[in-house]
Amino acid sequence: MEAKKLMALIVDDEIEICAAMERYLKREGFETATANNGREAVSLARQIGPDVIILDVKMPTMSGDQALEEIRKFDAESVIIMVTAVEDIEISLLTLKGGADDFLRKPIVLGELLHSIQSTLEKRRLVSENRAYQKTLEFKVAEQTARLARLLGELKTTNREIILAFSEAIEAKDPYTKGHCRRVASYSVRLGEAAGVQKEWLEALETGAMLHDIGKIGVIETILNKPGKLTQEEFESVKTHPVIGFNITSNINTLREASRIVRNHHEHYDGSGYPDKLASAQIDILSRIVLIADAYDAMTSDRPYRKGMPREKAIAILRECSGTQFDPGLVKLFIEGKLYLITE
């Protein structure tokens, strides 16, 4: 199929020059139209939508630079080449800013005219190709971003499901602790917020609090559920649960931060806890928070062999053990902020 011919609109008030350019461009394979002043050029450009406009600057009725301004109001696509006498060069330079693509000096050398048309058309083509490429690229980036956001959402859901499944596993092992993990998580997040824990750490705090006793699935049930005092040997067995829990969670990438809480949630402020006998600032703040939340909920919850103690008594014990078992600053926040009053 023959390629569509390009349309050139030639505008010059000198009829002979117009005719010479027309003959030449026809021979070079263009379709042509001519106008002899600016006004005529504007109206023709509007009618036929040329690909190229060759526009003389100095013309009666409406000059080329004015015509350029008018044409650019409705046509940003066509290539416009200004033609000028030597004395009009300043005007021509200004027209480049006004939307012309090139300018040629009179007398016109037809070969130069063709070269100017071809190179400006090529430049246009590259610019529009680049624009199309940019658009495709932006679209692809948006598409990938949406896909990543969707995957991230799915990952978060899966993560929540894993955490819930784990906490159900703990409660299945010790059914009387039903709701304990959820309540410890709730107290912990509130205490964390009061202590100024950064937002991005609150999620790890909540997860660590939910899973703090996950290691109990590795401790014999009869020991876990034994009413009354444990023997030394039984207690040693219970004391393995933070490390068992750490081993379960620390290899899961999304649970890495929470696994530290799982390991440290029985460390005491004065170094008398287990498993690593860490003290004060050696224990991360998230674990110090969970220790308080866990202790408070354990004291106030009912067990099959004993009733939960009244709130006031549990608070008195927190106060009493502040500075030995518990971080005193956090106990103060927990009690003075009455954070124990709210659970989900």
CA separation for the pair 314, 331 (Å, rounded): 12
Q: How far apart are CB 210 and Fe ion at their closest, in Å?
A: 12
Q: Which amino acid is at 49?
A: G
- The 3-state DSSP class for residue 344 equals coil
Half-sphere exposure of 49 (CA within 13 A, CB side): 4
Closest approach of Fe ion to the CB of residue 175, in Å? 16
- Per-residue tokens: 112: 């130069």
What is the helix (H) or strand (E) element at residue 33, kind and residue range? strand 31-35
* Only segment of 153-161, 213-221, 226-234, 297-305 that touches Fe ion (CB under 5 A): 213-221
Please identify, using beta-carbon distances, which residue of 195 and 291 lies nearer to Fe ion.
291
Kindly indicate which of the ranges 92-100, 151-159, 208-216, 328-336 contains the residues binding Fe ion, using the contact rule CB under 5 A: 208-216
Question: Which residue, 104 or 290, is less far from Fe ion as judged by CB?
Answer: 290
Q: Which long-range contacts (CB under 8 A, 24 or more apart) does 310-314 make?
A: 311/340, 314/340
Least distance CB 213 / Fe ion (angstroms)? 4
Give the DSSP letter of residue 179.
T
Instruction: Assess 267 for contact with Fe ion (CB under 5 A).
Output: no
Residue in the shown chain whose Cβ atom is closest to Fe ion:
213
Q: How many residues bind Fe ion (CB under 5 A)?
A: 1
Q: Which is nearer to Fe ion, 102 or 267 (CB)?
A: 267
Work out the number of other CB atoms within 10 angstroms of the CB of residue 6: 17
CB of 209 vs Fe ion, minimal distance in Å? 11
- If the CB atoms of residues 133 and 235 are measured against Fe ion, the closer one turns out to be 235
Q: Which two tokens stand for residue 57?
A: 């600057």
| Closer CB to Fe ion, 64 or 245, in the complex | 245
213 binds Fe ion (CB under 5 A): yes
Sequence-distant (≥ 6) Cβ neighbours of residue 137 within 8 angstroms: none
Q: Which residues bind Fe ion (CB under 5 A)?
A: 213
